[in-house]
């Protein structure tokens, strides 16, 4: 039963004003383009010391062996210091650094420290001392950026390697890498 006194209402149509939304979208687009800083976009980039370009192992891309070694000759880049990272062999802590060894012309030295933070602080100290002990009379050596070679066991987490790389960069060293070591090698 309908109410006889009441008139049936016509449904109102909802209108969505698109012009102000487009205006706001273009203003935001302009703001982000105007404030974009391309220098900050290169934040994750790192300077690496890579070997010079050599001949291709396979002249034709069809002849590339994906499982074989890319270069038969090991390229040796002269370094001021070699930093060796050894991992824990306990499965529960696999991937964590158990010891850091710094090798210079004076010989290898195992960094002291009960935990990771103490060893990293000791590495900071060692690299500062090494950089300060470089010859001052040789202007060519002063211009050259000191080089640190990292060698880590295969099972060490990449985040741990990056922490050591960051320490090297903070102390002014350029980083190069050696072949990964097998777990427990040389211990």
- Ordered by start, the domain boundaries in the chain are 76-156+165-177
The secondary structure of 91-157 as a DSSP string is GGGTTSEEEEEEEETTEEEEPP-SSHHHHHHHHHHHHHHHHHTS-SS-HHHHHSPPEEEEEEBTTS-
Please give the residue that has the higher pLDDT: either 110 or 88: 110
Average of pLDDT values for 21-27? 95
The class of domain 76-156+165-177 in CATH terms is alpha beta
Q: What is the pLDDT of residues 110-169, one digit of tens each?
A: 888 778 888 888 888 988 988 888 776 555 545 678 888 888 888 888 888 889 999 998
Q: Which of 160, 146, 156, 148 is nearest to 181 (CA)?
A: 156
Average of pLDDT values for 86-91? 77
């Amino acid at each position: 039963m309908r109410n006889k006194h009441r008139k049936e209402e016509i449904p109102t149509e909802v209108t969505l004003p698109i012009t102000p939304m487009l205006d706001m979208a273009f203003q935001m687009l302009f703001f982000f383009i105007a404030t974009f800083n391309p220098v900050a976009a290169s934040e994750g980039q790192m300077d690496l010391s890579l070997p010079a370009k050599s001949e291709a192992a396979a002249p034709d891309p069809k002849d590339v062996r994906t499982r074989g070694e890319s270069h038969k000759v090991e390229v040796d880049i002269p370094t001021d210091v070699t930093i060796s990272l050894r991992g824990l062999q306990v499965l529960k802590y696999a991937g964590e650094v158990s010891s850091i060894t710094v090798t210079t012309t004076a010989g290898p030295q195992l960094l002291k420290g009960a935990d990771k933070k103490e060893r990293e602080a000791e590495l900071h100290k060692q690299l500062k001392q090494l950089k300060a002990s470089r010859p001052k009379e040789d202007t060519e050596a002063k211009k050259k950026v000191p080089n640190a070679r990292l060698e880590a066991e295969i099972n060490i987490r990449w985040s741990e390697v990056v922490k050591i790389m960051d320490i090297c960069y903070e102390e002014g060293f350029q980083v190069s890498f050696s072949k990964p070591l097998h777990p427990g090698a040389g211990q």
